Chain A
Amino acid sequence: EIVMTQSPATLSVSPGERATLSCRASQSLSSNLAWYQQKPGQAPRLLIYGASTRATGIPARFSGSGSGTEFTLTISSLQSEDFAVYYCQQYNNWPPLYTFGQGTKLEIK
């Protein structure tokens, strides 16, 4: 089973600054990685798939990078609505065990 490890667990950043979130896989994923945003009481929302492709309607300040085992989600110029929990997820074809990272809470500094 592929284990996904996100860091840091909590990230404190001021509005207008840049946030960089990391996700590491225990084995190579190629580019089969997604990022999700979840706000309290809401379902997760897809931000990035294929490691770097923004989902429909996602602002350009969200960007994803990486391949293999190391991935990064960058949010440039943080807006108030961006403070939330972020999860990475691998969706390698086989075996079909689409594991999530434990999440990074992005909070206002």
Chain B
Amino acid sequence: EVQLVESGGGLIQPGGSLRLSCAASGFTVSSNYMSWVRQAPGKGLEWVSVIYRGGSTYYADSVKGRFTISRDNSKNTLYLQMNSLRAEDTAVYYCARGPYSSSWSGFDPWGQGTLVTVSS
């Protein structure tokens, strides 16, 4: 079964750091584009970052310079290192495969999400 499971969320003070993990099963992370998407409470979806199969990484302007996407091929796991966190980073963070797998095919599957709350 193709599945993604996120972990690492929690309550963190402004200016702090947190690392999210996304463990994949049923497919190989390094053979796919992998993305992070977030959703602030009661709001819509916001794309955050993507890592290509070749390792190139890209970010939304709102997180550029503060967040870093990476992967550990031996653990088949995707990460999001979040530094200099702000109150506006409070959201449920989802990892997702895509938008490219064997073809351009959107984001599928998605993990269940992990909540990050930035507050003093």
Contacts and interface: CB of A to CB of B under 8 A. Distances in A.
The prevalent SS among residues of A at the interface is loop
Contacts of A99: 47
Interface residues of B, number: 22
Contacts of B112: 43
A96 B35 CA distance: 11
A103 B46 CA distance: 11
16 contacts: A32-B104, A34-B106, A34-B107, A43-B94, A43-B110, A43-B113, A45-B110, A49-B104, A49-B108, A50-B105, A55-B108, A91-B104, A96-B58, A97-B47, A101-B44, A103-B44
Interface of A: 32, 34, 36, 38, 43-46, 48-50, 53, 55, 87, 89, 91, 93, 95-103
